[in-house]
Structure 1
């Protein structure tokens, strides 16, 4: 489990680390360029991350085939997911290229920043099809429990991109100085290398079985529909929370964002364990080893809960010190106290929720997860966010909403796992 989780964690953490480097490199060009990059990367993330079902859904389907002893079928799931990636990727490229100036203009009132963001986006979007191919590649490779190659492919691609980013943005080592556009070119090259490596491996594994198969693509898209709705509900909630936090003042929104970034980082750690649960539970169910699937579910949940408790203890012990790493502003430090302790309390709950999410995804129970997430968002998170705005409850109200959201999800996934319905 830890071997699978470690591989997943590297793959999950590498892109945010690359983005941090990209921001640091472009930031030296000036505030306008940095703002343009921030806006453009936000748009690119939104249009590409909605299709995470290409990794999560493919992992579940491939793992069950692999557990049943049919490695060819497990790889074939990757072939069909890759066809979806290429087709949807081409549509995203065309739509984003034409819409980029209007989208960035709507997000940013500064015409210069909006124009720079659109220019970066129109270059970088050509990497989206291969980003999606990489998602599909990660999906089927996780399904067959291949841990080494995905890490190599991602690290190689992003390493080349990182070198090109420094070189092309600032004209280092004899490379042309392209400024902000150099960042976009580096992004495309790095993502293309990673996607090409996944694609080549797939061609080698599935030689002679590369044609699209309508029924399999249809089944993947149905699962993808549920996971997209689930992902969108998360995004709507967190965007709403940020919008309301901004109405309480600069210090409050800064404090909210600091703790939210810690939440997102911790989510990557817990998500890696959830991905391991997907792989192991999917393989057990594919082999019809139902007792093994139950034991795996219990074991992963205990480990994830233990990890989250350790993180919570560290954050609680460092409550007076750790926030100063992110800011020295007295107002922000005062405001951060409230979300910080909500975060600490919420972590053990999140450890269980993430693990059982992975279990249910491994069983292909995406429709239930969609419904449970929507119910939690509409019944708890969003009402508390907007009530906080209406009654001026501040960050306490927003984070109460997030806590209730997690509690609602906890109740739903625990009930589902105990019911045994996921085994079917």
Structure 2
């Protein structure tokens, strides 16, 4: 692959900014690079959007109960996601990059040994060696580390959310005299029981992504989310459990996903570590802490926005919940491209293949922009007609209509922001990703406070759009200036 792109890469390497326009006529071509991106990105995108779609289904069913329950669950989901992402995002991102690097190095080492030993083996011995290699499980330290860390973090998260539910909801704007408090507590405590399964399943998804296998997580996620969709109306309406039924069905689906992924992973990877040193916890913690700082900054803005919407009242929070779930579900389609970019780039940097790295970054960014434009057009028209699926409340529908232009117009910006994340993670540029996002968050929080107090619901969405624009600019700046791991672009 490196030879195919070396000529065009060398032509533009003196000005790093040109990488964004490199081979733009080939953006939709299904060449070797295009096919590899599609093979990884499409299943990853479908798997990533499956859970938000399941949450949308939850939202649709809960919306039939009433606007208070819809708003209460919206606050609980925002809180659960905030706490989950603090643990999940660093774990999954670090795991994907480390597994891709270790798998690439293992393959290179195996190929070298095969070439060295090839001349000394007769044909019968060669067949035996190949068969033995195919039967052996892969030895990838990061896979074992991810599962151990994921399980521990999941248990901590579950205990934290269950015992601190009321004060946390109070921080989110749900006061002790609010009608939202009781259903919000019920949903949050029950859904928290699934936290260990959520973190374990996503840690395993990080391993599969590093192995460039995004189909297995897709199949497991679809199986789990279909279970959730089937169980939702049964628990909620047949058993008359209301919001508790929605939480219970979600927890069951998460444990099913974890069991499927673990069963498939243990067939491919040796998960029993020979020693603690083998696990390389220090490497995980060092980079994980950087991304932990980043993810707190990233998600705090969205959680703060949800909190401010809740303070405006149940009607505003219900409308915000619907708009936010659609905003996140569609934006995560671009995260499939981010996963593909991260996996391919991590392998390219492990091989010191700068030509492949430049071509991959260029292609996924261009595809991200196209995807964002397509999503903007679809949502701009479709959400006006689809809003009644979520609720029949006239006031909530009116506010959803107010939020639609922001949800639609921000899609190209969101897509680029997500893809830039994957590109920087693939280059193991964790420090820049962390520090730049802290600066973005500080500016965004100031804007959010100002605009929410002056313009209410509209101000919150303007602030979120500015926040995503700053995220995209931070990624653009790193590559466009050819700094950090992208210095090779300057020649």
Alignment of 1:17-416 (within 5 A): 17-26=53-62, 37-51=73-87, 52-70=89-107, 75-104=140-169, 107-110=174-177, 114-171=181-238, 180-207=243-270, 209-210=272-273, 213=276, 216-242=280-306, 260-314=324-378, 318=381, 322-323=383-384, 325-326=386-387, 346-379=410-443, 381-389=444-452, 392=454, 398=460, 401-416=463-478
What is the alpha-carbon distance in structure 1 between the residues aligned to residue 397 and residue 233 of structure 2? 33
User: Runs of 5+ in structure 2 lacking a partner?
Assistant: 1-36, 109-136
What is the count of residue pairs matched by the alignment?
414
What is the alpha-carbon distance in structure 1 between the residues aligned to residue 263 and residue 400 of structure 2? 50
Shift of 1:256: 6.1
Q: How big is the alpha-carbon RMSD for the aligned residues of Structure 1 and Structure 2?
A: 3.6
Q: Name which structure has the greater RCO, CA cutoff 8 Å, separation 6+.
A: 2
Does the C-alpha gap of structure 1 residues 201 and 365 become closer, same or farther in structure 2, counting only changes over 3 Å? same
Corresponding residue for residue 6 of structure 1: 42
1:197-222 alpha-carbon deviations (Å, 9 max, x no partner): 22233333333633673562232223
**Residue 168 of structure 1 contacts residue 179 of structure 1 at CA under 8 Å; is this kept in 2?**
yes
SS at match of 1:65: helix
Shift of 1:119: 4.1
Shift of 1:194: 1.0
Shift of 1:266: 3.0
**Residue 98 of structure 2 contacts residue 142 of structure 2 at CA under 8 Å; is this kept in 1?**
yes
**Residue 323 of structure 2 contacts residue 407 of structure 2 at CA under 8 Å; is this kept in 1?**
yes
1:369-400 alpha-carbon deviations (Å, 9 max, x no partner): 11111212223x2232233356x356675555
**Residue 384 of structure 1 contacts residue 397 of structure 1 at CA under 8 Å; is this kept in 2?**
no
What is the alpha-carbon distance in structure 2 between the residues aligned to residue 169 and residue 332 of structure 1? 23
Larger displacement relative to structure 2 (89-98 or 55-64): 89-98
SS at match of 1:232: helix
**Residue 79 of structure 1 contacts residue 202 of structure 1 at CA under 8 Å; is this kept in 2?**
no
SS at match of 2:194: helix
SS at match of 1:364: coil
TM-score (normalised: structure 2): 0.72
What is the alpha-carbon distance in structure 2 between the residues aligned to residue 363 and residue 66 of structure 1? 16
SS at match of 2:280: helix
Shift of 1:59: 1.0
Shift of 1:28: 5.3
What is the alpha-carbon distance in structure 1 between the residues aligned to residue 202 and residue 147 of structure 2? 9
